[in-house]
Amino acid sequence: MTEFTGNHILSVNQFDRDAIEKVFSVAHSMEPYARREKRTTVLNGAILGNLFFEPSTRTRVSFGTAFNLLGGEVRETTGMDNSALAKGESLFDTARVLSGYSDIIAMRHPAAGSVSEFAEGSRVPVINGGDGANEHPTQALLDLFTIKRELNYHGAGIDGLHIAMIGDLRYGRTVHSLSRLLCLFKNIRFTLISPAELAMPQPIVDAIKDAGHQLTITDQLEGNMDADICYQTRIQEERFPSQEEANRYRGKFRLNQAIYTRHFQSKTVIMHPLPRDSRMEANELDIDLNVNPNLAIFRQTDNGVLVRMALFALTLGVEDLVSKYERDVVWHSNKSS
Ligand code: NCD
């Protein structure tokens, strides 16, 4: 991707390292606004159509928050049942209509490829907020942004990192998109840990190998893995053919402080796209990890706002105007400390 302005963001395949660096530097510059130290009205008058046809909390709300923080307004549609898609309307028609009401659209839908299909009918840029088990490009960017920041803190960079991805690698779109982005870097070590039935899809395994990275595939945590990043995922029960099948894998890969100490380094960064399944039978990331300073899950969610602000600013071509439309914040904000 060389040009952001006016273009859709549908897949991580659109990004090269320069584009990623651009997003990260704009995201970094958004910090004073996200912390409410300053406000900007650069997107005053612009409308985001936030269309979530699949459950979402943080992705949907952080897209909306990011747009509001840039001074724009948000119109939201949630759930298939509440939209004309339930009356048989095509994605093309819905896109044609809703793009008349918005300046940019963020969209999530349960079918792989649906957001691209929607984008063909849209008259404004569309950002993929997750299409089935396929892709989740903005999550991958915020995950990579988090990895970069966390590793910087430990004096390291992304090149040469060792990442362990754990859990449902088959249906988990976040690990699909993140793996593809990491392929753009040098000498990455991937350790993919999942039951064989939930293994990473072959095209992504091939992409990792073709890019010359090291790859270990296993079905259990073994020994001390010397990973820099432990990326835990949720069993994507909504994508399994049956609930019984999903139940078979629930709770198979729990992480708590004792397991972390056994298998990881004391500086291994713990990530999860969230939501973590905290029900007893799953307990993917035990709350005893909440006091572990390497638990980065809530830094990930905060970083999501910065990255989504950057993507909006770039796509709407205002990344250099943000500070020109800056104001002081006059209310008390706990975020400014
Ligand atoms: C993820 C998703 O929806 O793919 N959540 C998110 O966007 N942060 C992961 C998940 O639902 O397990």
Question: 274 CB under 6 A from ligand 1?
Answer: yes
Between the CA of 233 and the centroid of ligand 1 the distance, in Å, is 9
Residue given tokens 């299909």 in the structure block: 117
Q: How many CB atoms lie within 10 A of CB 37?
A: 14
pLDDT digits (tens, 9 = 90+) for 49-80: 999 999 899 999 999 999 999 999 999 998 87
- 7-47 tens-digit pLDDT: 999 999 999 999 999 999 999 999 999 999 999 999 999 99
In the reported structure, the alpha carbon of residue 273 is separated from the centroid of ligand 1 by a whole-number distance in angstroms of 6
* pLDDT > 60? residue 1: no
**CA 331–ligand 1 middle distance (angstroms):** 33
The helix (H) or strand (E) run that includes residue 26 is helix 17-29
Task: Report the separation in Å between the CA atom of 318 and the middle of ligand 1, taken as the mean of its atom positions.
Answer: 29
CATH number for the segment(s) 137-298: 3.40.50.1370
How far apart are the C-alpha atoms of 252 and 259, rounded to whole Å? 13
Comparing C-alpha atoms, which of 131, 133, 71 is closest to residue 106? 131
Strands 162-166 and 189-193: parallel
Give the distance between the most distant pair of CA atoms in the chain: 56
- 168-223 pLDDT, tens digit per residue, is 999 999 999 999 999 999 999 999 999 999 999 999 999 999 999 999 999 999 99
- The tokens for 180 are 């593809």
What is the pLDDT of the chain when averaged over all its residues? 96
pLDDT grade, residue 81 (50/70/90)?
A: confident
pLDDT, residue 217, reads: 98
Amino acid at 165: M
For the chain, the straight-line distance linking the first and the last C-alpha, in angstroms and rounded, comes to 36
What is the rounded distance in angstroms from the CA atom of residue 310 to the CA atom of residue 4? 11
Quote the CA–CA distance of 46 and 261 in Å, as a whole number.
49
Pocket test for ligand 1, best of 78, 178, 274, 284 (most atoms within 8 A of CB): 274
Place of tokens 């035990």: 286
Cβ of 58 closer than 6 Å to ligand 1, yes or no, is yes
CA 129 – ligand 1 centroid, Å: 9
8: Cβ below 6 Å to ligand 1?
no
pLDDT of residue 85: 79
Tokens of 287: 């709350």
Do 137-298 and 12-134+303-328 have the same topology in CATH?
yes
- Evaluate whether 107 touches 51 at the Cβ level (below 8 Å): yes
Architecture of the domain defined by 12-134+303-328: 3-Layer(aba) Sandwich (3.40)
Question: What percent of the chain clears pLDDT 90, i.e. is strictly above it?
Answer: 93
- Is the pLDDT at 133 greater than 90? The verdict is yes
What's the pLDDT at 336? 58
User: Domain boundaries in the chain?
Assistant: 12-134+303-328, 137-298
Question: Taking Cα atoms as reference points, which of 72, 20, 69 lies closest to residue 43?
Answer: 72
Q: Is the pTM of this model over 0.95?
A: yes
pLDDT tens by residue, 211-257: 999 999 999 999 999 999 999 999 999 999 999 999 999 999 999 99
Radius of gyration of the chain (CA): 20
Lookup: tokens for 185:
């870097």
